[in-house]
Amino acid sequence: MLKLSLAALMAASLLFSGCKDSPGTAPAKAASTPVSVAAIAAEAKGFTAGQAMSSRTVYVFFDAQCPHCGALWEAAKPLRSQAKFVWIPVGLLNPASTTQGATLLAAKDPVAAMDEHEASLRAQRGGITAAGDIDAQKASVTQNTELMTRFGFASVPAIVATHAQTGALVTQEGAMPTAALAALLGLQPPAAGS
């Protein structure tokens, strides 16, 4: 019984967890720019998973080395039929964050590359191997990181969207399970067993 309670407590602590800057990186500053879907659409460089033509867009700032970002990647999969998720790589945790984020941006099929990357991380193999000639994408990851910092986000994943039912701006730092993500975004929760 104690083991079950400890497992439940650990699962609950991971529910809304996220990764923060690693020691030695600049601390997140207070927001100098209000969070704006329009600014993200204009300035960020990411890749789309889900319904490309959907009027519902969910922006996710993520670090390729963040396990909580990987958990959110999996949690968002059942919701892709209802929204377009734009995954925006940032470099917060270590040097591999930037190179792997840039490699994902440069991939011919970023969604498949992200699935491969996450499978490699789960198997403790370090993630996707950095591609050559990704300097332009590295610059994009750096710009994405600066934009996220201007908004005042201190951890990843950081979600920004417009609520599907109310139209209100919603933001969330940290991963969450599929049902909680659907509620945050105003989407229909997936059917049981989906």
Predicted confidence (pLDDT) per residue in 14-57, tens digit: 444 667 664 434 444 456 789 999 999 999 999 999 988 998 99
Residue 98 lies in a domain: yes
Instruction: Indicate the SS3 state at residue 60.
Output: strand
Residue 190 lies in a domain: no
Instruction: Indicate the SS3 state at residue 160.
Output: strand
Residue 32 lies in a domain: yes
Would you call 88 exposed, middle or buried from its count of C-beta atoms within 10 A (0-12, 13-18, 19+)? buried
Cβ contact 137:103 at 8 Å: yes
The C-alpha atoms of residue 68 and residue 76 are separated, in whole angstroms, by 12
How many Cβ atoms sit within 10 Å of the Cβ of residue 14?
Answer: 16
What is the per-residue pLDDT for 2?
A: 33
What is the per-residue pLDDT for 193?
A: 60
What is the per-residue pLDDT for 6?
A: 30
104: domain CATH number is 3.40.30.10
What is the per-residue pLDDT for 27?
A: 41
Residue 9 lies in a domain: no
Residue 169 lies in a domain: yes
The residues of the chain scoring below 50 in pLDDT are: 1-16, 22-29
What is the per-residue pLDDT for 32?
A: 78
Nearest Cα neighbor of 154 from 94, 102, 93 is: 93
Return all residues near 147 (Cβ < 8 A) that are at least 6 apart: 39, 40, 43, 44
Which run of H or of E encompasses 156?
strand 155-156
Domain that holds residue 104: 16-185
Residue 193 lies in a domain: no
Residue 126 lies in a domain: yes
What is the per-residue pLDDT for 131?
A: 83
What total number of domains does the chain contain? 1
Residue 194 lies in a domain: no
What is the per-residue pLDDT for 132?
A: 86
Global pTM? 0.86
What is the per-residue pLDDT for 17?
A: 62
Give the distance between the most distant pair of CA atoms in the chain.
Answer: 53
